[in-house]
């Protein structure tokens, strides 16, 4: 056997997403002996958690951190092909009779450009780790400029050295509000207050439940304590049981109206306060990016966590319902970066055909299970109160793209013919805009179900529960790019003529030269 | 106050100086630094909105990570580019977009390809954005 054919005989593992989950998966798959193609739409690895500055800003300042070491180890590995600025726009199941991982269609080049390079990857096993995005519940005025998802504020600080304002209000629910507050303060932004919608009792009960689980996330308690100290030092109030119910302004946000909430998030009348702001950041937890798992045919699991409580179902080995397709990170449940890492490590090792009984795996599995318990704890401590639609008005925009308002949804639901979500969609145009319902889909589904009188939480009758996330393409592709034939199937063997030097992740040279 | 660039203590002195770049937005020059996204350049220049929705309402960055498509604009004649995901290049000619006067004949620039088998193979995107010509 020649060296080349020995390389060909290795398993080819394709990992989509280079966040904490995907990077750990790639490292484990390499350790198990596979060839790995690691793909991410971003220019640099790290995902949302380890978002780094572009080199032009002086590059990442984390040379010695565990993340930097992992990044170097993975991207510099001779069996790893790193594809930066590469979007997976479709997964193709070649033959429904032949169960196995789908073909992976990718586009490499500047985001949304029109001359990106097309490739088709043929994995022996696929690890999906596309992460999540902020979940933001609508409220009057949330479509004004200057109102941001909490993660946007974080991404702008970490990736662009940019603060969004100097009279910032941060509101919503979940522990994620705290690192955002910390980043804004560290960057010198003026922060008015941090509002956690759930009452202190709910938060405390969630966190105090089964205290032994917390010791499994050793950093977490200390991290929370650090945030509390930081807020106190900057005299930024952290209020529970209060939220933003309206944003106002001419052409951009100028004022936020906050109010006290009962535990079910109904507004306590007479408690409204108006605060002058130049930016408003809102986050109500995260929604998993489910388009790729759905395109691969993976079964979803419904959790009782309110709207968008759907995640990819995986077994104890992180294997989805589709043979050869593994899932790791936030798409299986929102538990933070450490949990995403352990899931990724397990998924990568097993996808590569690594020994399932390897002793080192025992610890990984244990940590993974603790991560899952932690996710359940988060959901319990920071639920979405069932009465939140109480702050909607008839003219409140629900679908940001099509500007479908709450009144239109109410009318469509009252109309017998508009009973099924698909019909609602056509009648109101909700979910039909450029974002393809990523932002409003689960919310429209929840509101429609409720307006029809069904209890929230259950899947809409007669439709797969995944309907809000089903969309024909994972990422936009342009007609010209579609017409071009892709490069020959990429089986992951290193192509010496490929100008993408894996040791220089932020310079995907091939993308630039293919741009007209 | 508006969004603004900041310096961090971890920005080691003596590192490569910031490389300035200039783009045009609807013909007007806007200065930025290399490494910024187009959204970053616009925000740092004090602009919080650049797109108009159907009703005429202004829009800018919302999700910041390429999910909401609120921030799209036209870059070097290519429409519907997510400003928060596209890195600014010196000389980029950016034009803002509007859906306020939705033009039925607007060219459809994006297509959908089947990802899950039970959708048509290629589907015209439902809402092409016509390019605005606000100066
Ligand atoms: C905007 C934002 C900021 C956050 N900041 C923090 C923070 O500061 N601290 C914290 O504790 N938690 C933060 N989180 C929570 C964070 O999601 C998790 O802690 C952690 O990053 C999850 O890891 P992951 O690997 O599952 O996903 P991610 O880190 O989200 O990584 C997923 C990667 O997949 C890529 N991807 C997705 N779809 C495709 C596709 N179709 N083609 C190619 N690539 C694709 C993405 O570009 C991304 O790099 C943030 C979340 C968001 C949405
Ligand atoms: S701000 Fe959401 S896609 Fe750019």
Q: How far is A498 from chain B (nearest CA, A)?
A: 23
Residue A513: its H or E element: helix A509-513
Is B88 part of a structural domain of the chain?
A: yes
Res A13 pLDDT > 90: yes
Tell me what ipTM this predicted complex has.
0.88
DSSP state, A388? Answer: G
The number of folded domains in chain B is: 2
Domain match, A244 and A156 both: yes
Token pair for A378? 């988060």
One domain for residues B42 and B86: yes
Shared-domain flag, residues A244 and A182: yes
The answer to whether A282 faces chain B, any CB pair under 8 Å, is no
Average pLDDT over residues A101-111: 96
Determine whether the interchain pair A294/B116 forms a contact, defined as Cβ–Cβ distance below 8 Å. yes
Substitution target in A43, A60, A160, A278 with the highest count of B β-carbons within 10 Å is A160
Q: Tokens 């899950």 map to which residue?
A: B116
Cross-chain Cβ contact A162/B114 below 8 Å: no
Q: Do B89 and B26 share a structural domain?
A: yes
> Are A17 and A40 within 8 A, CB to CB?
yes
Whose atoms come closest to the Cα of A17: which ligand? 1
For A144-196, how does the pLDDT look when each residue is reduced to its tens digit (9 = 90+)?
Answer: 999 999 999 999 999 998 999 999 999 999 989 999 999 999 999 999 999 99
Residue count of chain A, please give it: 516
- Looking at residue A60, its pLDDT comes to 56
A298 and A224 share one domain: no
Reported as type and span, the H/E element at residue A450 is helix A441-451
Judge if A280 and A297 occupy the same domain. Answer: no
Q: What is the pLDDT of residue B15?
A: 57
Average pLDDT taken over every residue of chain A: 85
Phi/psi-derived region of residue A458, left when phi > 0, alpha when psi is between -120 and 50, beta in every other case:
beta
- Domain assignment of residue A443, yes or no: yes
Average pLDDT over residues A222-247: 91
Domain with A231 in it: what CATH number? Answer: 3.50.50.60
Angstrom distance (rounded) from CA B106 to CA B111: 14
A481 within some domain: no
Residue B2 within a domain:
no
Q: What digits encode the pLDDT tens for the residues B82-133?
A: 999 999 999 999 999 998 866 443 433 333 333 332 222 232 333 334 333 3
Quick one: A402 and A371 in the same domain? no
Share of chain A above pLDDT 90, in %: 61
Are B112 and B61 part of one and the same domain? Answer: no
- Contact A74/A40 with Cβ under 8 angstroms? no
Domain end point (choices A422, A452, A482):
A452
The answer as to whether B13 is a domain residue is no
Q: Do A278 and B78 touch (CB under 8 A)?
A: no
Nearest Cα of chain A lies from the Cα of B107 at a distance, in angstroms, of 11
A274 and A161 part of one domain: yes
Any domain includes B132 = no
The separation between CA A73 and the C-alpha centre of its own chain, rounded to angstroms, equals: 25
Residue pair A81/A55 in contact (Cβ under 8 Å)? The answer is no
Q: Are residues A272 and A307 in the same domain?
A: no
- Indicate whether B82 and B112 sit together in one domain: no
Kindly state whether residue A467 falls inside one of the protein's structural domains.
Answer: no
Contacts of A142 (CB under 8 A, 6+ apart): A136, A247, A282, A396, A397
* Widest CA span in chain B: 57
pLDDT confidence of A209, banded at 50, 70, 90? low
- Ligand closest in space to the Cα of B59: 2
End residue of a domain, out of A284, A299, A321:
A284
Q: Do B78 and B107 lie in a common domain?
A: no
Residue A465 in any domain: the answer is: no
Compute the distance between CA of residue A145 and CA of residue A250 in angstroms, rounded to an integer.
10
B55 touches chain A (CB under 8 A): yes
- Predicted pLDDT at A496: 37
Answer yes or no: do B80 and B111 share one domain. Answer: no
A350 and A497 belong to one structural domain: yes
Question: What is the torsional sign of CA A494, A121, A37, A108?
Answer: positive
Average pLDDT over residues A274-295: 95
- My answer on whether B111 and B66 are in the same domain is no
Query: Mean of the pLDDT values across residues A197-213?
Result: 79
- State the smallest CA–CA distance between residue B27 and chain A in angstroms: 20
Task: Give me the residue from B59, B60, B115 closest to A291, CB to CB.
Answer: B115
Where are the alpha helices (H) located in A193-261, listed in sequence order? 200-208, 218-233
Residue A428 CA to residue B126 CA, distance in Å, equals 14
Among A266, A284, A302, residue at a domain's last position: A284
Q: Measured between alpha carbons, how far is A185 from A390 in angstroms, rounded to an integer?
A: 32
Distance CA A66, CA A59 (A): 17
User: In terms of residue numbers, what domain contains A344?
Assistant: 3-132+288-379+490-512
Does residue B69 share a domain with residue B42? yes
- Asked if A152 and B18 come within 8 Å (Cβ–Cβ), the reply is no
Residues A411 and A335 in one domain: no
In a domain, A337, yes or no: yes
On chain B, the residues whose CB falls within 8 A of the CB of A289 are 67
Is B74 inside a domain boundary? yes
Residues A292 and A396 grouped into a single domain:
no
Say if residues B33 and B19 touch (Cβ distance below 8 Å). Answer: yes
- Among residues of chain B, what percentage have pLDDT more than 70? 66
| DSSP annotation of A331 | G
A470 in a domain, yes or no?
no
Lowest-confidence region among A220-224, A234-238, B33-37, B121-125: B121-125
pLDDT tens per residue across span A245-260? 999 999 999 999 999 9
Ligand 1 site, residue A294, Cβ cutoff 6 A: no
Q: Give me ligand 1 centre to Cα B67, in Å.
A: 12
Most informative mutation of B38, B43, B50, B69 for ligand 2 (most atoms within 8 A of CB): B69
Lowest-confidence pick of A253-257, A402-406, A463-467: A463-467
- The residue behind tokens 């259950």 is A458
Smallest CA separation from ligand 1 atom 4, residue: A48
Is B91 contained in some domain? yes
pLDDT of res. B123:
29
Q: Judged by CB atoms within 8 Å, which residues 62-121 of B form the interface with A? A: 62-70, 72, 75, 78, 80-82, 84-87, 108-117, 119-120
Cβ(A130) – ligand 1 distance below 6 Å:
yes
Same domain, residue pair B109 and B81: no
Domain membership of residue B133 (yes or no) is no
Containing domain of residue B39, as a range?
A: 20-96
Give the tens place of pLDDT for each residue, A413-430.
887 655 566 666 777 888
For residues B52 and B117, state if they share a domain.
Answer: no
> What mean pLDDT value characterizes chain B?
76
Residues A62, A104, single domain; the answer is yes
The band of B71, judged by pLDDT with boundaries at 50, 70 and 90, is very high
Flag whether B8 is in a domain: no
Considering the domain architecture, whether residues B118 and B58 belong to the same structural domain is answered as no
| Contact residues on chain A for B82, CB-CB shorter than 8 A | 111-112
CA A33 – CA A16 distance, rounded (Å):
18
Q: In the structure, what pLDDT confidence band is assigned to residue B12 with cuts at 50, 70 and 90?
A: low
Do A230 and A254 belong together in one domain?
yes
Count of structural domains within chain A? 3
Q: Residues of A with CB below 8 A from B127's CB?
A: 401-402, 432-434
Instruction: Return d(Cα B120, Cα B118) in angstroms, integer.
Output: 7
Q: How far apart are CA B75 and CA A378, in angstroms?
A: 41
Residues B70 and B116 in one domain: no
């Amino acid at each position: 056997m020649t060296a080349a054919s020995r390389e060909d005989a290795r398993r080819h593992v394709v990992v989509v997403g280079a966040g904490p989950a995907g990077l750990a998966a790639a490292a484990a798959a390499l350790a198990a002996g596979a060839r790995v193609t690691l793909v991410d739409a971003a220019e640099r690895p790290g995902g949302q958690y380890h978002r780094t500055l572009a080199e032009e800003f002086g590059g990442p300042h984390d040379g010695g951190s565990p993340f930097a070491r992992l990044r170097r180890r993975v991207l510099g590995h001779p069996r790893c092909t790193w594809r930066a600025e590469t979007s997976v726009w479709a997964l193709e199941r070649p033959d429904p009779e032949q169960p196995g991982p789908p073909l992976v269609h990718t586009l490499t080049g500047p985001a949304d450009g029109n001359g990106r390079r097309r490739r088709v990857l043929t994995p022996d096993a696929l690890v999906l780790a596309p992460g999540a995005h902020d979940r933001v519940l609508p409220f009057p005025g949330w479509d004004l400029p200057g109102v941001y998802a909490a993660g946007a504020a974080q991404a702008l600080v970490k990736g662009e050295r940019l603060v969004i304002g100097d009279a910032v209000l941060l509101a919503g629910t979940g522990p994620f509000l705290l690192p955002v507050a910390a980043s804004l303060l560290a960057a010198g932004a003026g922060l008015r207050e941090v509002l956690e919608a759930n009452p202190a009792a709910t938060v405390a009960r969630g966190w105090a439940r089964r205290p032994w689980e917390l010791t499994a996330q050793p950093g977490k308690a200390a991290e929370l304590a650090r945030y509390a100290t930081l807020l106190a030092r900057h005299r930024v109030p952290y209020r529970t049981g209060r939220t933003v119910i309206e944003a106002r302004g001419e052409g951009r946000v100028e004022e936020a109206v906050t109010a006290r909430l009962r535990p079910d998030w109904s507004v306590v009348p007479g408690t409204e306060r108006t605060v002058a702001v130049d930016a408003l950041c809102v986050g109500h937890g995260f929604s998993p990016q489910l388009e790729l798992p759905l395109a691969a045919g993976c079964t979803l699991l419904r959790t009782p966590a309110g709207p968008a409580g759907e995640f990819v179902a995986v077994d104890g080995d992180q294997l989805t319902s589709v043979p050869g397709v593994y899932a790791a990170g936030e798409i299986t449940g929102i538990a933070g970066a450490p949990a995403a890492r352990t899931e990724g490590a397990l998924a990568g090792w097993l996808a590569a055909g690594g020994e399932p009984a390897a002793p080192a795996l025992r610890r990984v599995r244990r940590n993974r299970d603790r991560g899952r318990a932690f996710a359940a704890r988060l959901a319990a401590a920071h639920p979405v109160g069932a009465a939140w639609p109480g702050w909607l008005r008839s003219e409140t925009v629900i679908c940001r793209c099509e500007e479908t308002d709450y009144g239109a949804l109410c009318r469509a639901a009252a109309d017998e013919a508009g009973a099924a979500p698909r019909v609602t969609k056509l009648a109101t145009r909700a979910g039909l805009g450029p974002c393809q319902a990523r932002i409003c889909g689960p919310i429209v589904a929840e509101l429609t179900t409720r307006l029809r009188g069904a209890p929230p939480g259950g899947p809409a009758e007669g439709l797969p529960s995944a309907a809000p996330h089903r969309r024909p393409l994972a990422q936009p592709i342009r007609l010209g790019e579609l017409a071009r034939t892709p490069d020959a199937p990429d089986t992951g063997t290193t192509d010496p003529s490929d100008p993408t030097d894996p040791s220089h992740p932020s310079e995907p040279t091939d993308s630039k030269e293919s741009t007209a | 106050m508006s969004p603004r660039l900041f310096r961090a203590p971890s920005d080691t002195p003596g590192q490569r100086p910031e490389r300035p770049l200039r783009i045009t937005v609807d013909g007007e020059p806007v200065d930025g630094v290399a490494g910024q996204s187009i959204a970053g350049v616009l925000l740092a220049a004090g602009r919080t909105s650049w797109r108009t929705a159907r009703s005429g309402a202004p829009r800018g960055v919302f999700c910041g990570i390429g999910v909401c498509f609120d921030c799209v604009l036209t870059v070097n004649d290519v429409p519907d580019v997510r400003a928060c995901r596209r890195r600014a290049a010196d000389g980029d000619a950016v034009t803002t977009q509007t859906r306020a006067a939705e033009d039925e004949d607007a060219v459809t620039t994006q297509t959908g390809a089947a990802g899950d088998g039970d959708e048509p193979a290629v589907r015209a995107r439902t809402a092409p954005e016509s390019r605005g010509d606000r100066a």
